[in-house]
Amino acid sequence: MNTKTKLVFLALAVIVLVLVRIRITGQPKLQLPEGGKFDDYATQLKWGRYVNTKYQIVFPYPLSWSMNTTTWVFESGDLITVEFIGPTQKDQTEFYDGARLVVMIPQKTDGDLSDWIAERHKALPGENPSVVSDVSLNGRNFKKVYTCGLGCLTYYYTTIDGQVYGVMAFAGGSQIKELEATLEEMLAKLELGSR
């Protein structure tokens, strides 16, 4: 190779590196809620871990899922949402294709958890009442609330040290079975509050 050919290859390499750098730095950075961080442990398994030290919340999530800080599922606000967007999901519509795990900002309560749930999950006229059952997730007792309105959603609530912790799980679309299995795995390893 002559000097001119070497210079052309060098120039092309520099251009490619500059374009790659622009693409990497031009991607929006995810902003996490106060006290939260994503910890990529077990990347060989393609799973990460969300950790919020302020509220003592830890759960695994698939690294192929994304974080969404714009959801508003819980009246007290959403702490974090991790989601998988399905191929037919359209922007600016109700969420119908994919999966979401939404964690609420814990709320103080002095009352009974069943009363707290009944107040927040009242059926609208024409809707079936919510179905409430007792479940255990990762060794902790929860109230599972299955409710259907415009769509069907599953909530999990527990009280820890005078605070209600809540999680909403949803899966829909053509990959519902796989997504439900993934949500079940995430919920099985959910850690809330002090132990």
Rounded Cα–Cα distance for residues 91 and 182 (Å): 23
Q: Residue 11's pLDDT is what?
A: 64
Same domain (yes/no): 21, 39: no
pLDDT interval class at 25 (50, 70, 90): very low
Same domain (yes/no): 129, 185: yes
DSSP 54-104: TTTEEEEEETTSEEES----STT-EEEEEEEE-TTPPTTS---SEEEEEEE
Give residues with Cβ within 8 angstroms of 189, minimum separation 6: 59, 60, 138
Rounded Cα–Cα distance for residues 162 and 68 (Å): 28
Same domain (yes/no): 90, 160: yes
Shortest CA distance to 164 belongs to which of 110, 95, 118?
A: 110
Where in the sequence is the domain holding 13, given as residue range(s)?
Answer: 1-29
Same domain (yes/no): 156, 91: yes
Q: Residue 151's pLDDT is what?
A: 79
pLDDT, tens digit, 9 for 90 and up, residues 31-90: 445 555 554 433 444 899 999 999 999 999 999 999 988 889 999 899 999 999 999 999
Same domain (yes/no): 132, 188: yes
Same domain (yes/no): 41, 20: no
Same domain (yes/no): 24, 110: no
Q: Is the pTM of the predicted complex or chain greater than 0.85?
A: no
**CATH number of 175's domain:** 3.40.1000.10
Q: Which is more confidently placed, 61 or 6? A: 61
Same domain (yes/no): 17, 104: no
Same domain (yes/no): 68, 114: yes
Same domain (yes/no): 62, 79: yes
Tokens describing residue 169: 């799980």
pLDDT, tens digit, 9 for 90 and up, residues 140-190: 999 999 998 777 899 999 999 999 999 999 999 999 999 999 999 999 999
> Amino acid identity of 104?
M
pLDDT, tens digit, 9 for 90 and up, residues 79-127: 999 999 999 999 888 889 999 999 999 999 999 999 999 999 988 887 8
Same domain (yes/no): 41, 93: yes
What's the number of domains the chain is made of? Answer: 2
Same domain (yes/no): 119, 87: yes
CB 88 within 8 A of CB 174: yes
